[in-house]
């Protein structure tokens, strides 16, 4: 599959270097492992797999030297969120409650697909405990500070969550891509906060076996990358399918901008970056149509009792909380315990209401290739106040989850890509659509990424 290059070197560029003989998998892996040991990567990994990764890269080089085809991931570094089983390693959800978990006996399917594609798995990355936060804080293993904002602003800022360590591993060069999960934005939020690309595919396309669940109705296994082209590559591997992104001219795209909910409370920098992105796309010929989507205003009521994450996380955690509740992050435990008061009738009513809501939103998308929204209404917030103030933490967490969580409730697909002016704090632009529109979203994102890059040229 031939895909365009955009911006900084990506996984495709790295693979091309190996193909051309300009470097080797082993040499490029050592660069990644060195980056993983630098201060910007502090608190990024829960455990590293250096020896295993070196063996994988060496095996790729041996096969390549013998004339064998280079596998898609070419022995390059890929990090794994500490929710996914890796054979021979414990899976702990970055929680003290599972600190003594036994090693996994086999790779989960998502990891197995990455390994078969030639990935050098460099380690389990840190996350919000059990993936239950959009900000990325972790009191057990420490919180990795946002390395991208650190280069622009002396204030340590949140990395975004829950796939905090995964995003930092990609932003710092410790990995070319990161396997993570997205239940309400956990791939797209850290991508937005760190100027990366995060693609949440349709949930059912990638198996979730061997992954610690948060919400079985919403969890999606997917990846953070450096470019949209890399998002296509990683999705092909994780979903075991051949994506066919419709790479149509920008003039052929009809894009909706829902005004309900998604544009509320934007900070000035996000609002300016979003408006500038829309202007650039419109100038390039895209048809951008503002729409009212009143269904989005219903979400607060539908999820008032904690929603699907509370009900479904309580199912998995209730016994572990009874035995080891004192080892949980209290903020995480409090959110899980909301599910204790939800009855079976409440849960079934919510599932029924969701089906009806999805049908109405899907109908509103007729005639559009995708919708456009800010991924997150704010830039990455300062870290210290969030650590110190529970009220501020929960209010900020709800705000950053608001836009991306719409797509999970829709059972849809979405991609976040950076849209900020150079040299400013990262801002994510989210393209989203209903289920199984993955190729349409990826195709539109390739065009959007190209158009936004062209305005800076």
For 409, the 3-state DSSP assignment is helix
CB burial of residue 409 (10 Å; 0-12, 13-18, 19+):
buried
Q: Sign (positive/negative) of CA torsion 111, 409, 417, 286? A: positive
For 353, the 3-state DSSP assignment is helix
289-319 burial, b for 16+ CB within 10 Å, e for fewer?
eeeebebbebbeebbebbbbbbbbbbebbee
Residue 120 dihedral angles phi and psi, to the nearest 5°: -95, 105
List 81, 95, 164, 313, catalytic entry: 81
Of 440, 127, 387, the closest CA to residue 253 belongs to 440
Contact 426, 193 (CB under 8 A): yes
> Dihedral angle at the C-alpha atoms of 79, 80, 82, 88, nearest 10 degrees?
-100
Residue 37 CA neighbour count, 13 Å, CB half? 8
List 162, 201, 215, 217, catalytic entry: 162
Q: Sign (positive/negative) of CA torsion 359, 361, 363, 369? A: negative
Q: Please give the biggest Cα pair distance in the chain.
A: 62
List 128, 186, 313, 416, catalytic entry: 186
Of 50, 18, 84, the closest CA to residue 174 belongs to 50
Q: Is 391 a catalytic residue?
A: no
Q: Is 186 a catalytic residue?
A: yes
CA–CA distance, 177 with 234 (Å, rounded to integer): 8
Of 52, 57, 49, the closest CA to residue 74 belongs to 57
CA–CA distance, 340 with 379 (Å, rounded to integer): 33
Q: Is 133 a catalytic residue?
A: no
CA–CA distance, 441 with 368 (Å, rounded to integer): 11
Write down how long the chain is: 457
For 127, the 3-state DSSP assignment is coil
Active site residues per annotation: 81, 162, 186
């Amino acid at each position: 599959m031939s895909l365009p290059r955009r911006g900084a070197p990506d996984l495709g560029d790295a693979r091309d270097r190996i193909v051309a003989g300009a470097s080797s998998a082993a040499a490029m892996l050592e660069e990644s492992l060195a980056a993983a040991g630098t201060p910007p990567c502090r608190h990024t990994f829960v455990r590293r797999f250096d020896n295993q990764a070196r063996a994988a890269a060496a095996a790729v080089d041996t096969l390549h030297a013998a004339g064998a085809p280079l596998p898609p991931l070419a022995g390059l570094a890929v990090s794994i969120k500490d929710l996914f089983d890796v054979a021979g390693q414990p899976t702990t959800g970055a929680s003290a409650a599972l600190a003594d978990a036994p090693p996994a006996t086999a790779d989960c399917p998502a990891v197995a697909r990455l390994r078969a594609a030639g990935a050098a798995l460099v380690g389990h990355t840190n996350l919000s405990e059990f993936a239950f936060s959009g900000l990325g804080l972790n009191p057990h293993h420490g919180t990795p500070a946002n390395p991208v904002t650190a280069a622009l602003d002396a204030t340590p800022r949140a990395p975004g969550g829950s796939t905090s360590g995964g995003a930092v591993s990609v932003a710092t060069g410790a990995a070319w891509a990161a396997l993570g999960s997205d239940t309400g934005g956990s791939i797209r939020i850290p991508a937005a906060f760190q100027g990366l690309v995060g693609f949440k595919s349709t949930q059912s396309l990638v198996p979730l076996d061997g992954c610690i669940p948060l919400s079985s109705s919403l969890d999606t296994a997917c990846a953070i990358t450096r470019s949209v082209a890399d998002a296509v590559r990683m999705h092909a591997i994780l979903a075991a399918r051949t994506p066919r992104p419709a790479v149509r001219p920008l003039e052929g795209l009809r894009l909706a901008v829902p005004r309900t909910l998604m544009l509320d409370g934007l900070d000035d920098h996000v609002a300016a970056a979003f408006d500038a992105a829309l202007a650039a796309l419109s100038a390039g010929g895209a048809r951008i149509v503002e729409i009212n989507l009143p269904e989005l205003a219903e979400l607060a009521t539908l999820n008032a009792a904690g929603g699907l994450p509370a009900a479904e996380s309580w199912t998995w955690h209730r016994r572990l909380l009874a035995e080891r509740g004192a080892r949980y992050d209290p903020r995480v435990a409090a959110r899980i315990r909301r599910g204790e008061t939800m009855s079976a009738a409440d849960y079934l009513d919510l599932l029924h209401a969701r089906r009806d809501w999805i049908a109405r939103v899907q109908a509103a998308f007729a005639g559009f290739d995708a919708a456009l929204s800010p991924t997150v209404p704010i830039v990455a917030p300062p870290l210290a106040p969030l650590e110190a103030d529970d009220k501020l933490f929960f209010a900020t967490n709800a705000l950053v989850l608001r836009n991306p969580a719409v797509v999970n409730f829709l059972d849809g697909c979405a991609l976040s890509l950076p849209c900020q002016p150079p040299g400013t704090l990262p801002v994510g632009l989210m393209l989203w659509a209903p289920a199984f529109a993955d190729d349409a979203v990826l195709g539109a994102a390739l065009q959007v990424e190209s158009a936004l890059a062209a305005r800076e040229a």
